[in-house]
Amino acid sequence: MTTQAQTLHPTHTTADGKKLVTVIPGDGIGPEVVAATQRIIAATGAPLAWDEHPAGASVFKQGLPSGVPDETIQSILRTRVALKGPLETPVGYGEKSANVTLRKLFETYGNIRPVRELPGVPTPYSGRGIDLVVVRENVEDLYAGIEYMQTPGVAECLKLISRKGCEKIVRLAFEVARAEGRTKVHCATKSNIMKLTEGTMKHVFEEVAQEYPDIEAQHIIVDNCAHQLVKKPEQFQVIVTTNMNGDILSDLTSALIGGLGFAASSNIGRDVAIFEAVHGSAPKYAGKDTINPTAMILSGVQMLRYLGEFTAASLIENAILVTLASGIRTRDVQGDAGAVGTTAYTDAIISNLGKTAPNWQIRDYKPIQMPSVPTEIAFTKANERRVVGVDIFVESGEDAETLGPSLTALAAGTPLHLKLISNRGTRVYPPTGAITDCADHWRCRFLLNDEQHGDLDDATLIALLERVGKQHRWMHIEKLNEFDGAPGFTKDQGED
Ligand code: NAD
């Protein structure tokens, strides 16, 4: 992967010179917040045109399992930019989330979620100047959605983290920092426990940080990051992290500045960008002209900057600060007494375009230099590789003391021997004296007898599987690879 940056992908321009944007009104409160955003953008005079298409509940109900019709996909492929209202994931239809589908379809790998303290929105942190961005990896990790019931009682979810995916998101985080004049990036991982998956993100972060000597780089364990975010959030400027960590941390950060009504986001990739509020469709407030459209409007502000419309973006951001500072607030902040409705709040922002709030400044933004992403498959070659053994996962109601000798006997006379058995990651055979509450799911690790020089071939592996399968039910295998002399697998708790 090259280290060069490239400018944003060109967008579609209409015959009269306007930038065309796909707009998806969405479900529940979606149409209200999207319409408010469109009205405000129109009032700035920014040269945008809209191409409206559906997705979400109405589409699921017509029987399309993805929730995203082809007309919408084609529009986004044309415009490359979408403004999207929240989409409901209807319970009982068995579909995947249309939101996740959209993010994955267009490989929008970077989820950028900024939060900042706002005037007139009191929180326990008011006055401390919270102003940070969570840059969440958006397509990998546990959200690949690859899950199995390995036994009737034990479920598995694959956590897939690629080096290429980490390089993209980490570079994006540093580029966001540069574009926004920020001086520090934290990387939050759980690499102390998940040394290979979360560890890849940490290693890539430490490597890529060398390319950005102007920006301070610091790794932080994600649980400490959550703790620090509650204790001293103003210490953070940019936090880059894996998908699930980012999902949880960014909901936390939105609560620090007043809640979901103010949490904006963009999903950006090499080719397409989708802008949406963090919140959902809040169905009980749909059509009541009561909800807070700020999150969606600020997502629109991010979109304007992505499109190079910096003046319009600043006009709107300043007008929001002026409006909130003047005490005009929706029900989520104000409570019932004195709150304004969605329409009146939107009108107030429009009337405040061109004004700035005393003592409240916005950042000076430059275009984000998007990381260059090669189109070829990320095929990482190892100079040397060998298979040193195999983990065979067995479903059994027998205990470890029975299984261990049985599997040892089955491997006798083969080039492999049973090294150990673990239950959900804890070694149970040979016994350690640990008190383990076992499930019917056993990882049985077989290593080649000659561990220094061997390379396990498929015929030997299959012969062992056949032997094991005659007496036990196996449901999964994992080859134990060594790449360039380093083990490509972790040890169990209690394994030496
Ligand atoms: P939600 O965000 O819709 O609502 C949670 C609560 O937050 C609401 O009850 C409401 O009190 C408050 N809230 C949310 N947005 C607000 C706003 N703009 N102004 C004022 N208050 C607001 O989350 P949910 O109830 O868990 O989910 C409802 C539906 O939305 C589900 O179908 C879910 O799958 C979907 N959803 C979609 C997205 C998305 O499109 N990106 C995100 C989250 C949830």
Phi, psi torsion values for 121, nearest 5 degrees: -120, 85
Q: Tell me what pLDDT residue 65 has.
A: 84
Q: Closest residue (by CA) to atom 23 of ligand 1?
A: 280
The token pair that represents 57 in the structure block: 């509940």
Q: Which helix (H) or strand (E) holds 33?
A: helix 30-44
| Whether the CB of 32 sits within 6 Å of ligand 1 | no
Distance (angstroms) between ligand 1 centre and the Cα of 236 equals 26
Q: Tell me what pLDDT residue 3 has.
A: 39
Q: Give which of 470, 402, 484, 479 is closest to 442, Cα–Cα.
A: 402
Each residue's pLDDT expressed in tens, for the chain with a length of 496 residues: 433 444 445 578 888 889 999 999 999 999 999 999 999 999 999 999 999 999 999 898 888 888 999 999 999 999 999 999 999 987 765 557 888 888 888 999 999 999 999 999 999 999 999 999 999 999 999 988 899 999 999 999 999 999 999 999 999 999 999 999 999 999 999 999 999 999 999 999 999 999 999 999 999 999 999 999 999 999 999 999 999 999 999 999 999 999 999 999 999 999 999 999 999 999 999 999 999 999 999 999 999 999 999 999 999 999 999 999 999 999 999 998 999 999 999 999 999 999 999 999 999 999 999 888 887 887 888 999 999 999 999 999 999 999 999 999 999 999 999 999 999 999 999 998 888 899 999 999 999 997 556 899 999 999 999 999 999 999 999 999 999 999 999 987 666 6
Q: Which residues contact 72 (CB under 8 A, 6 or more apart)?
A: 22, 24, 53, 54, 55
Q: Tell me what pLDDT residue 494 has.
A: 65
Please give the distance of CA 474 from its chain centroid, rounded to a whole number.
33
Distance CA 139, CA 157 (A): 15
Q: Tell me what pLDDT residue 261 has.
A: 96
Q: Tell me what pLDDT residue 15 has.
A: 85
Q: Give which of 296, 273, 370 is closest to 79, Cα–Cα.
A: 273
Q: Tell me what pLDDT residue 219 has.
A: 98
Q: Closest residue (by CA) to atom 27 of ligand 1?
A: 280
Q: Tell me what pLDDT residue 11 has.
A: 72
| Whether the CB of 265 sits within 6 Å of ligand 1 | no
| Whether the CB of 292 sits within 6 Å of ligand 1 | yes
* SS3 at position 440: coil
| Whether the CB of 281 sits within 6 Å of ligand 1 | yes
Distance (angstroms) between ligand 1 centre and the Cα of 265 equals 14
Ligand 1 atom with the shortest distance to the CA of 332 = 20
Q: Give which of 170, 268, 165 is closest to 211, Cα–Cα.
A: 170
| Whether the CB of 267 sits within 6 Å of ligand 1 | no
Q: Is the peptide bond before 405 cis (omega within 30 degrees of 0)?
A: no
Q: Tell me what pLDDT residue 64 has.
A: 87
| Whether the CB of 261 sits within 6 Å of ligand 1 | yes
| Whether the CB of 300 sits within 6 Å of ligand 1 | no
Distance CA 162, CA 184 (A): 24
Q: Closest residue (by CA) to atom 26 of ligand 1?
A: 280
Which residue(s) pair with 83 in the sheet? 23, 275
Q: Tell me what pLDDT residue 347 has.
A: 98
Specify the pTM: 0.93
Q: Tell me what pLDDT residue 148 has.
A: 95
Ligand 1 atom with the shortest distance to the CA of 56 = 40
What are the distances in angstroms from CA 62 to CA 28, 57, 74, 99, 209? 17, 9, 19, 17, 48
Check if the beta carbon of residue 477 is closer than 8 Å to that of residue 445: no
